[in-house]
Amino acid sequence: KSEKGRKSERGRRLLIVGGSFGLREFTQLRYDDQKLKTKLVPELAARVNIEKQSVILEEEYEKMKKVDLDNWKNIRGPRPWENSKEFQDQQREQISKRQRGD
């Protein structure tokens, strides 16, 4: 074989061996990242655990019992094309005028 052929063959072998190590490292990073993402915060882990779900439902029920559902006010949020800060300021002004009796 010629010198050029030997070098290209060595290059291919190096690429195959080096590529396999590189691929292994990248896949390991991928799985490590997935493990980090799947770790749950303790509050969320309790929500996933079926045995503790009944306790959570009871807590939510108690919270809902405390909410006054008879006296509520429907407040419209800003539209996508409206500036939310200006809209909130306008709503605050209207509420304060109603409270003052203007």
Top-confidence residue, 2 or 23: 23
What kind and span of H or E run contains 25? helix 3-38
pLDDT (tens digit per residue) in 3-41: 666 767 777 777 777 777 778 887 888 787 777 666 666
The alpha carbon of 100 is separated from its chain's Cα centroid by a whole number of angstroms, namely 43
For the entire predicted model, the pTM comes to 0.28
- Does residue 90 sit in helix, strand or coil? helix
Domain ranges for the chain: 1-68
Query: What are 37-87's pLDDT values in tens digits?
Result: 666 666 666 666 666 666 777 888 888 888 888 887 777 777 888 788 888
